[in-house]
Amino acid sequence: YDYSWFLFLFCVFLFTLVWLYFAIIILNDFHNFNEFIFRERKLWLDWSLVLLIATAVLISYSSVLLLLALCLQLCGQPLKLHWVHKVRDWDCREMMSALAALTPSEAGTSLLWLCMAAVTPLSGCVSPLSWAAAQNQLPPKPALVGHRGAPMLAPENTLMSLHKAVECDVQVFETDVMVSADGVPFLMHDEELTRTTNVQTVFPERAALNSTAFNWTDLQQLDAGSWFLERRPFPTVQSLSPDDRKEAAEQRIPSLEQALEAAKQSNISIMFDLRPENHSDYQNFVNVTLGVILQSGIPLQQVSWSP
């Protein structure tokens, strides 16, 4: 019985390590989840911190339990786990029943196989990398695409973000385009301006309107950079230099024409979505956007219009 619970604790510990690995891997993608919560609740919170705190608590908890269980096993003492530590759901009961039927030797064998199962994938990942490095046969690095520019170093979808992406050797500036009420294509991802501008301060009575409901003169009055410094959507914001902070605070919503000119000067490609696709005047948006691209003089092979 004790062997079964010890093996269960070991499995929980391995699970928390795997969870920690995935938590670290997906940290950057949590920005999209943060955006979703903001659009739904108008509340900005870095949920990656919640994930890391929960992971740290689980790892600490399982590590202490596993260490205590190991000490008790080495001393020949029964585990006597408190009921609080025991999982009561159906899957765990099934696993406990199966493990309880094992003899000590079978449990030891299962534990050995579990260790091998955990180590084998890691060795399988490391071995090809070390072999390729030793043979100096690594392929050339892929072309980098800057999603909304360099949003960890500058406010997304701004000229500063484009320039920071160029500094990072990005070959493609990916962005989102909308068209203002008076027919000027501009860079904006959200259908509302509340997340990335100070529209609630400048136009409080119109803050909930669609981004396309504003004319270009109104859009130029909005601050598109201060939110980046205030909310700090990424930890990298804290490491910005004073000059970068000043530049970020001065950012405005750029027009597509300005972005195309910057891309042409920097010799990088630009890829964009035209939003929102369900707008009643979408066909006119397409015509206006196409006209701006043709008038900009940028080589057409540097422009990718995502459907």
Locus of tokens 């072309």: 143
Q: Per-residue pLDDT tens for 240-260?
A: 999 999 999 999 999 999 999
Which one is predicted more confidently, 199 or 103? 199
How much is the pLDDT for 68?
Answer: 79
Give burial (CB, 10 Å; 0-12/13-18/19+) of 173.
buried
What's the whole-number average pLDDT of the chain? 80
Instruction: Decide the pairing of beta strands 172-179 and 185-187.
Output: antiparallel
Please give the torsion angle defined by the CA atoms of residues 278, 280, 285 and 286, in that order, rounded to the nearest 10 degrees: 60
Q: Find the mean pLDDT for residues 221-245.
A: 94
- Is a pLDDT exceeding 70 seen at residue 53? yes
- Is a pLDDT exceeding 70 seen at residue 228? yes
DSSP 185: E
DSSP 144: P
Q: Is residue 13 within a helix (H) or strand (E), and if so which, with residue range?
A: helix 2-25
Q: Find the mean pLDDT for residues 276-281.
A: 92
Is the full-model pTM beyond 0.85?
A: no
- Is a pLDDT exceeding 50 seen at residue 119? no
**Confidence class for position 82, pLDDT limits 50, 70, 90:** low
Q: How far apart are CA 219 and CA 161, in angstroms?
A: 18
How much is the pLDDT for 54?
Answer: 80
Q: Find the mean pLDDT for residues 277-285.
A: 93
Domain segments of the chain as ranges: 1-136, 145-305
- Is a pLDDT exceeding 90 seen at residue 11? no
Which one is predicted more confidently, 33 or 125? 33
- Is 30:48 a contact under the CB 8 Å cutoff? yes
- Is 229:249 a contact under the CB 8 Å cutoff? yes
Least confident of 10-24, 154-168, 178-192: 10-24
How much is the pLDDT for 47?
Answer: 75
Q: Quickly name the fold that domain 145-305 has.
A: TIM Barrel (3.20.20)
